[in-house]
Structure 1
């Protein structure tokens, strides 16, 4: 990948959110969940996440996540994904969520 500048990085808005609702997403091409995420003052945003092998729905509820909040929306099957939840992609393609180690205010920006 080509190097970027700090100014480029500042254009990416990464914020802390809390998962408040999780549903199966059978219409997705790959196994995924529908997530509703509370970003505090930014409101509740939706996302599709391919994390079904490492995470159970009940374990995701009330968990803090990091997400890119300034991407354009994307339609996945019949669902509009508004944010990109961030995770580490393992060699087998599974995704491990990136999460704050402590409670922090919802909607806070990551730099």
Structure 2
């Protein structure tokens, strides 16, 4: 992978949000959830689809803080418009572990 400059990194807007609603996403090609994430006054509520069903139950996701790229253009996934990309780490067997702050932080704050 090639190196990037700090100026290039600054173009990626990664913000903290709180999952407020989760639904099964039966129309997705791979098992996924529909997420509604509150980014506070910075962005309000945004939607995302996430293939995180192997490690997380829906009930475990509500009120969880997550990090997401918030300045990608929206992407149509089946019949759902995904507005942000929730960040995770691919571990064994394609399972995805979410990335999150290690303590409570204000919603909408940007990762530096």
- What TM-score do the two structures reach when normalised by structure 1? 0.99
The answer for the alignment partner of 1:4 in structure 2 is 4
Q: Say which SS state the counterpart of residue 28 (structure 1) adopts.
A: coil
1:18 equivalent in alignment to 2:18: yes
Q: Say which SS state the counterpart of residue 92 (structure 1) adopts.
A: helix
The answer for the alignment partner of 1:63 in structure 2 is 64
CA RMSD between the two structures: 0.5
The answer for the alignment partner of 2:83 in structure 1 is 82
Query: Matched residue pairs, number?
Result: 111
Segments of 5+ residues of structure 1 without an aligned counterpart are none
Q: Could you report, residue by residue, the CA deviation over 1:39-76 in whole angstroms, capped at 9, with x for unpaired residues?
A: 00110000000000100000000000000000000000
Q: Say which SS state the counterpart of residue 92 (structure 2) adopts.
A: coil
- What TM-score do the two structures reach when normalised by structure 2? 0.98
Q: Say which SS state the counterpart of residue 47 (structure 1) adopts.
A: strand
Segments of 5+ residues of structure 2 without an aligned counterpart are none
Structure 1: 4+ residue segments shifted above 3 A: none
